[in-house]
Amino acid sequence: MFPNNFYWGASSSAFQIEGAWNEDGKGLTVADYNSFKKSNKQADTKVASDFYHRYKEDIQLMKELGLKMYRFSISWARIFPEGDGKVNEKGIDFYNDVIDELIANNIEPFITLYHFDLPFSLVEKYNGWTSYKTTEAFVNYAETCYKAFGDRVKKWQINNEQNLMVRVNERMNIYDAQGEEAERLRVIMDHQMFLAYAKSSKLCKQLVEGGSVGPSISATVTYPATNKPEDVMSAIWNNRLKTDYCIDTHVNGAYPNYYLEYLKETNRMPNISEEDVVSLSESVVDFITVNYYRTLTSRHLPVDANHFKGEKIEGFNIVDYNMYGYWEILKNENLKESEYGAQIDPSGLRIALNDYWNKYKKPLIITENGLGTVDNLVDDKVHDGYRIDYIKSHLLAIEDAIRDGVDVFGYNVWSIIDILSSHQGFKKRYGLVYIDRTDFDEKDLRRIPKDSYYWYQDVIKSNGQNL
């Protein structure tokens, strides 16, 4: 049931896989800075999975796997060590080598320009995304990449999970602000990222012959805890304010009215100029990329004498926060969960794909989906049947969505090899290939295909017939 030209792929991100954090002119990033603060607790970005030095070996593993696509990110600070200013030609050379190696092995490169790793120099100079100067720097960086790589790379993802990234203080370099000050900063930064997307997506169509471009969203599917109307509405609001507003803005080229009303009511409205309105209206979306891991369940959380409407408090975690006047996140007792608390729900992926297709009529591709858990290496083997079960169930959900009439043109498992987890280092593993290292012992960084690697190889070979 999968189309003959379906892209069977895998994904990664620069700071989680490359290592070589300061080699060949690369600058410090926010992701580096945050990882170094945790160096006494887990691995950091200095070596990660050492893709920078072992990319040929890793791409050979991709070829043997049968990948049709590899979705990876470019480190902005490897191209512009200061975020703006002078280009680092050695950074251009590295990504040219990676792209050429992929193409030589019949794997299509799919590039993400920004995956949580803002050059730290832009934090020091402009306070990051609070400034339009960072937006200008990003557009210049995007233009540089289109010109350097656009002759061979035709599919571009501007940013990874803007709607999730903006919720995490350390990813947005919000280190000191608290409460409403932090919330207003968050909205300002979000606005600048919307402008960066719109301007860069327009530029892609101008500079990349045959190029296509789209945003990445972290999918939010929320079930109401009961059929009470206020609980049903809480689920709608959780979807709206964590994901839908982002896709609506990208696709429609303007903020949706429900989002503007929310910003006004909570006194979080950013300054939006007439020029900004025009820029947003010129946003280009050829496809939507979907990262999917879990669903949520909510009930209405009323305000009271001690809390105001729009006040946020931590829920299951900082990403799945609760908000007074809107929702409270609950555990869904009908679902199993991963070792790290993500509730496993393949049906939610079918729901998300149908929802996004019916609303936007844009082709969809899954750019992240996978299981992060502890893997055990025994006699040079990893028997990860639990990962196979996870991926299989989600691929069957995609197949159902395709039967429903949804245009899904690819699936990229997260991730191709074990990578550095932002919060669990190398304890939490996602890869189809085991990296023989721990958080504090790099060992030999040997690559060892897991059972899931060979299973996915067979799936690809059969174009999904052997699920």
Active site residues: 161, 368
DSSP string, 157-202: EEES-HHHHTT-GGGGT--S--HHHHHHHHHHHHHHHHHHHHHHHH
Contact 21, 46 (CB under 8 A): yes
Biggest CA–CA distance in the chain, Å, is 65
Looking only at the bridges linking them, the beta strands covering 433-435 and 447-449 are antiparallel
Kind plus residue range of the DSSP H or E element containing 339: none
CA distance 348 to 342: 13
CA distance 297 to 333: 10
Please report where in the chains the tokens 């890869």 appear, as a residue.
431
CA distance 467 to 464: 6
User: Which are the contacts of 124, defined by CB distance < 8 A and separation ≥ 6?
Assistant: none
Q: Which of 348-364 are b and which e, b meaning 16 or more Cβ less than 10 Å from the residue's Cβ? A: bbbbbbbbbbeebebbb
The first and second tokens of residue 19, run together, are 């290592």
CA distance 45 to 288: 29
Looking only at the bridges linking them, the beta strands covering 155-159 and 212-214 are parallel
Cα dihedral 326/268/183/360 (nearest 10):
60
